[in-house]
Amino acid sequence: MMNKKQKQKYITDISSQFENSKAVMVTHYQGLTMVQLDELRSKMREHGIIFKITKNRITKLALEKTKCKDLSNLFNGPTAVAFGEDAIMSARILYKFAKDNTNLKLLGGLMDNEILDQAGVLNVANLPTLDEARANIVGILNASASKLVSILLARSEKMSNLPPENSETQPKE
């Protein structure tokens, strides 16, 4: 049980996390073991994401004055929140973990001040990361450039293999 001072500190800390995070994902974790939760936290930590089990009543108080206040209806039951800077990576890790562990339920979240429902979180999880998108663009540009070069080279090869137009100027054997 928290005393009043601890509750006030919890509200201040969690409010700050909600306000300063670009990505917030809300989940239900009922049925997960401590080993599974630790595994999930470890995966999230590798990408700079904090995965935190919340106290719903106090968290709802903390949400009131933040950009995430519209998420307060998700805080019922055993709730945990992922705070991070990259919504795609947060959603992707949670989605992959939920596929292997059916006890983890994605409820919704926030991505750059935009509220996401469960379907929105799943859509975000399937987006390419920024690095993957950059690699795809470079691949497309490289493919186009190499196709252009091969077309130009093929054209010049055809020109060099053409028979001479005027056969009278050719020396006879």
Q: What is the DSSP string of the chain?
A: ---HHHHHHHHHHHHHHHHH-SEEEEEE-TT--HHHHHHHHHHHHTTT-EEEE--HHHHHHHHTTSTTGGGGGG--SSEEEEEES-HHHHHHHHHHHHHH-TT-EEEEEEETTEEE-HHHHHHHHTSPPHHHHHHHHHHHHHHHHHHHHHHHHHHHHHHHTSPPS-GGGSPP-
Cα(7)–Cα(170) distance, rounded to whole angstroms? 99
Residue 83 is predicted with a pLDDT of: 94
Q: Please, which residues bridge with residue 50 across strands?
A: 83
Q: Average pLDDT in the 48-67 region?
A: 90
Residue 42 is predicted with a pLDDT of: 94
Residue 105 is predicted with a pLDDT of: 93
Q: Average pLDDT in the 33-40 region?
A: 94
Residue 168 pLDDT > 70: no
Residue 116 pLDDT > 90: no
Cα(92)–Cα(50) distance, rounded to whole angstroms? 14
- Hey, what amino acid is at 81? V
> In the structure encoding, which two tokens stand for residue 145, read together?
């450039």
Cβ atoms < 10 Å from Cβ of 67: 15
The model's pLDDT over 65-92, given as tens digits with 9 standing for 90+, comes to 888 888 889 999 999 999 999 888 899 9
Cα(62)–Cα(142) distance, rounded to whole angstroms? 49
The model's pLDDT over 131-152, given as tens digits with 9 standing for 90+, comes to 777 888 888 777 776 776 777 6
Residue 166 is predicted with a pLDDT of: 56
Residue 173 pLDDT > 60: no
Percent of the chain scored above 70 by pLDDT?
Answer: 86
> In the structure encoding, which two tokens stand for residue 58, read together?
């106090």
Residue 44 is predicted with a pLDDT of: 94
Which residue matches tokens 């995965």? 51
Residue 106 is predicted with a pLDDT of: 92
Q: Average pLDDT in the 9-25 region?
A: 90
Residue 51 pLDDT > 90: yes
Residue 34 is predicted with a pLDDT of: 94
